[in-house]
Structure 1
């Protein structure tokens, strides 16, 4: 998909461009930057993660409920109801828009859009999951991106339950001093919830590119620690009660991810197989004993 985007640049005759991507699109944008860093003027990664295990959503009761309803959704109305909760914060949905709640307005728009395009097929969903699951930016690719010298903005909603901000921040730290972290109040579609702040962050990024701003003036992340300092910090973090990154506190999350992955591998194919077998009609075949042995 990154190569498709590069082919589009070639078709348009654009030697260089500002590359912006959201969610899986941000993964594609990051890969594009690693493939042709000399063609990137700036890179904006909105609600991104590093792929693989980092793609799994936040582990809590709300996410489990959403995951169950997502898998069971069969109508545009059911899918729209789930999408709203994954895309926006509750506060945003409960705001008044004229005489209606924003939730009501968006729900109608989502149902209309899904009805027009049709529900996402299982094949499409599995392809999307596979693309995110296999995505990875190696350290070599990180160094290629950093050495190109263009500024990077990692923009994220701190209440995103699909792409957790912890992983976005970790990616930004890998890309420093070229990266700036923009942490906003919002969910997965933070560009909708906080459009003015996101647009300003993008304008700042483009301006930094045009002015060829010093990376150390652009970057707002803490300076990288040495290997020894990281070990001490990790130890201190692990012994804190309720730490989000300690092994003990993340053990339930790891178990949940394993169960979710096994469910995707085993249960969904079985259900699909049942539906396929149910649609088949029995056919009587006449054969001789020799045909059976063959």
Structure 2
């Protein structure tokens, strides 16, 4: 279903459970269907109201097709020189979208779980509206601080060698290889399963320029690291030891900057959420939620 959130249409899936709400915020270019079905089902069976949404510019939510075409080369140069990166919208806006989803559903507070870019959005939510978060979980994400290590060379090369966006078969093949590259050695997804996941996402919605605009929003978010010390929301940081896209240092720095944050490192985990990871991830989430379902930080 679609709701009006922060003044734009946002696609939402809501389990409607009776317990505390859990808002799941997905990462760069990923749709709400990227959350493992088993994770969503197990959270719902544990009594939580599980809410997922497509971020702006992906999936079935508002696509900003009228925005200018991103110039990533120029943005990367500005970022390297410490100059301001201009973006059509910011992670702050995406955080307001997520808060708007909660407003539209009548949810006063929620446990917020974000992966990758979603972790950055969740951090922005905790900064903008701490009274709305029962807890914060930042998964395979980063503080965004300057000087942290970036992707491995192989991953960086793969990101730059994007195929023709109009050739769906080439996009499918490239995406499968990319997910194989960033996946963890301890949670390898069979190629046929991975191909089916990518094909389902491409069949549901395909907005490659929207992904680039989201990437610009990440690059433009250069003040978040200095602000993380303000977060009082109970925070869990989960990161894979073998993450080749957002190295472990990003998670470590996030946990270091947020007072009281707990860091959980998972051996064999890369930068993916395969179903095989759910048995490791779910107990961490449930323990974190159960410890903080009755209290919220002061505004």
Shorter-normalised TM range: 0.5 to 0.7
Equivalent residue number for residue 136 of structure 2? 43
With normalisation by structure 1, the TM-score equals 0.59
Q: CA deviation at 1:191?
A: 5.8
Kindly report the root-mean-square deviation, in angstroms, between the aligned alpha carbons of the 2 structures: 2.8
With normalisation by structure 2, the TM-score equals 0.58
Equivalent residue number for residue 159 of structure 1? 242
- The answer to whether the Cα contact below 8 Å between 2:135 and 2:235 also exists between their aligned partners in 1 is yes
Equivalent residue number for residue 273 of structure 1? none
Q: 1:92 to 1:143 in 2, by over 3 A?
A: closer
Distance between the aligned counterparts of 1:128 and 1:56, measured in 2? Answer: 20
What is the SS of the residue equivalent to 1:107? helix
Q: CA deviation at 1:202?
A: 0.6
Q: CA deviation at 1:182?
A: 1.0
Q: Which has the higher contact order (CA 8 A, sep 6+)?
A: 2
Distance between the aligned counterparts of 1:115 and 1:138, measured in 2? Answer: 34
**Pairwise mapping of residues 4-15 of structure 1 onto structure 2 (< 5 A)?**
4-15=97-108
After superposition, what is the alpha-carbon deviation per residue over 1:213-256, rounded to whole angstroms, capped at 9, x for unaligned? Answer: xxxxxxxxxxxxxxxxxxxxxxxxxxxxxxxxxxxxxxxxxxxx
Structure number with greater Rg is 1
Q: 1:38 to 1:136 in 2, by over 3 A?
A: farther
**Pairwise mapping of residues 1-294 of structure 1 onto structure 2 (< 5 A)?**
1-51=94-144, 57-60=150-153, 62-70=154-162, 74=167, 75-90=170-185, 92-93=187-188, 102-118=190-206, 120-121=207-208, 123-138=209-224, 141-146=227-232, 150-177=233-260, 179-184=261-266, 185-190=268-273, 192-210=275-293
Distance between the aligned counterparts of 1:139 and 1:68, measured in 2? Answer: 26
Bigger drift between 129-138 and 70-79 goes to 70-79
Distance between the aligned counterparts of 1:208 and 1:137, measured in 2? Answer: 30
Distance between the aligned counterparts of 1:201 and 1:189, measured in 2? Answer: 17
- The answer to whether the Cα contact below 8 Å between 1:48 and 1:156 also exists between their aligned partners in 2 is yes
Q: Higher strand share goes to which structure?
A: 2
Q: Higher helix share goes to which structure?
A: 1
What is the SS of the residue equivalent to 1:161? coil
Q: 1:68 to 1:17 in 2, by over 3 A?
A: closer
What is the SS of the residue equivalent to 1:189? coil
Distance between the aligned counterparts of 2:257 and 2:156, measured in 1? Answer: 30
After superposition, what is the alpha-carbon deviation per residue over 1:41-62, rounded to whole angstroms, capped at 9, x for unaligned? Answer: 10001111123757874233x3
The gaps in structure 2 that reach 5 residues or longer are 1-93
* Count of aligned pairs between the two proteins: 199
- The answer to whether the Cα contact below 8 Å between 1:151 and 1:209 also exists between their aligned partners in 2 is yes
What is the SS of the residue equivalent to 2:292? helix
Q: CA deviation at 1:144?
A: 3.0
Q: CA deviation at 1:206?
A: 0.7
Distance between the aligned counterparts of 2:220 and 2:243, measured in 1? Answer: 21
